[in-house]
Structure 1
Amino acid sequence: MTSEKETHDQIDHQIKDAVESTAEEKTKPKEKRFSRKKQTPSEAHIQKLEENIAALEGEITILIQAKLMAEDKMKRVAADFDNMTKRKEREFNRTLSFARENLVRDLLPLLDDLERSAQFDESSNNSEKNTDPEVKNTQQTGIRMIYERFLKYLQETGVERFDPTGEAFNPDIHDAMLTRAVENTKPGIVLECFQPGYKLGDRILRHAKVIVSE
């Protein structure tokens, strides 16, 4: 019991001290707060600020001009690079086209040989020397297949074969080997084609060798 009473007494004492302390704080005279009078900037200070602003605006203008110049230079560099890339691409395509033309020109004599071989075997298929028609037909078929596959390959690469028989003679794409007078045929007509011509796009790889009416 004694300890509980002492505890209550201590609590009451603490409460009393707190109340008295609060009362003392309220009764203390309040200190006056003196506010310093707001000072206005001097004319010299204002002039200095204006000079700083003008200097900053000048720097901003210089930076903007430098930025525009850098952007213009970048655009010109990009345009030059694009033009160079296109020029290199055109040169590459032109070189590739010339190389392909030269390759096809070198292959045309071989194609002519295959064509003549196929025609010769066909014309001699019924000759007396042909003792084994089955073997002869097999050889002819093989040569014809090689010729047709070769010609198809060239056509797939853009090569075009042309036979101008019956057309008007054109010295730009025809070579007149002979002339012949033919009744009821006006002059300058291709009567026969000795050797077909070939072209790649709009470029003539080989003129057609022809006989022309006179």
Structure 2
Amino acid sequence: MTNESNKTEQQPDTIEQETVENTDEVVVEKQQAEQEVEVLSAEQEKIAELEQKLAAALAKVDEQKDSVIRAKAEVDNIRRRSAQEVEKAKKFALEKFAGEMLTVVDNLERGLATINAEDEQQKTTYDGVNLTLQGLISGLDKFGVKAVDPQDQPFNPELHQAMSMQPVEGVEANTVIAVMQKGYELNGRLIRPAMVMVSK
């Protein structure tokens, strides 16, 4: 009986001990689970933070790409405009000089008109003035100065300046019937319009 009572007395102690051990294991497992959850949530926070930083960095890269593309386009535009301005400067640098030379051309042409080329005494003078005029016109032509002589052509207000209008039989209206002064262009740009008489 004593043995049985000892067994009975020992059993509750063993049960209590097992219960305590089980409880301790549950507490330890619970703590481990909480720690794992904390570690996971900390890692998730870190991942979320890194994802935000990555998104911000990618947005910054896109913004920088856009800035670089715009800057390159602006540089290309500046380069193109500069090249065009240099080209225009080369083409039209002689505009004022050519304008002054046109007065000399006009005076030589007027001088030729007053000399009688058939007269033996005036023939050498005529030839000399004509050679000078042709040399000047040839020199101007080399630098892109071209005459606008619209005789018997339709009137063009972009190239011609009408000084008067007259009715002329057998001539279509708005036709240049007389050129009072030739016009000139420098590389396609009008530097002086032709002064003309136009038919009504």
Identity %: 18
Question: What is the correspondence of 1:147-158 to structure 2 with a 5 Å cutoff?
Answer: 147-154=137-144
Query: What corresponds to 2:122 in structure 1?
Result: 130
Cα distance in 2 for partners of 1:50, 1:74 equals: 35
Unmatched tracts of structure 1, length 5 or more: 1-39
128 and 138 in structure 1: CA distance in 2 versus 1, 3 angstrom threshold? closer
Paired residues of 1:105 and 1:206 also in contact (CA < 8 A):
no
CA distance 1:82–1:194, change in 2 (3 Å): farther
The reply on whether 1:196 has 2:177 as its aligned counterpart is no
**How many residues align structurally?**
169
| Offset at residue 56 of structure 1 (A) | 2.7
1:171 Cα deviation from its structure 2 partner: 2.8
2:135 to 122, 141, 145: 145
Given the alignment, which residue of 53, 75, 83 partners 1:85? 75
Q: 1:173-192 counterparts in 2 under 5 A?
A: 173-192=159-178
With the length of structure 1 as denominator, give the TM-score of the two structures.
0.59
Q: Distance in 1 between matches of 2:188 and 2:58?
A: 47
Q: Which residue of 1 aligns with 2:18?
A: none
| 1:104 aligns to 2:63 (yes or no) | no
Output aligned runs, 1:22-61, within 5 Å: 42-61=32-51
Partner of 1:168: 154
1:135-182 Cα shifts (integer Å, max 9, x gaps): 864664354123212122125xxxx54322222223343211132332
Deviations 1:84-137 (A, max 9, x none): 435545664469748965741552241352365267459654434337x4x864
**Deviation above 6 Å: which 4+ runs of structure 1?**
none
Gaps of 5+ in 2: 1-28
**Whole-angstrom CA distance in 2 between matches of 1:69 and 1:196:** 65
TM-score by length of 2: 0.62
Inter-partner Cα distance in structure 1 for 2:47 and 2:116? 99
Q: The residue matched to 1:184 in structure 2 has which SS?
A: coil
Asked if the contact 2:95–2:186 (Cα under 8 Å) also holds between the matched residues in 1, the reply is no
The structural deviation recorded for 1:212 is: 0.8
Secondary structure of the 2:122 match is coil
Are the aligned partners of 1:162 and 1:196 in contact in 2 as well (CA < 8 Å)? yes
Aligned residue for 2:144, secondary structure, equals: helix
RMSD: 3.8
Residue 75 of structure 2 is aligned to residue 75 of structure 1: no
Query: Kindly tell me: are residues 161 and 56 of structure 1, through their superposed partners in 2, closer, same or farther at Cα, counting changes over 3 Å?
Result: farther
Distance 1:127 1:46, change over 3 A: farther
Larger helix fraction of residues: 2
User: C-alpha displacement at 1:66, in angstroms?
Assistant: 1.9
SS for the counterpart of 1:209 is strand
Moved more, 74-83 or 195-204: 195-204
Whether contact under 8 Å (1:111, 1:147) holds in the other structure is no
Amino acid at match of 2:104: D
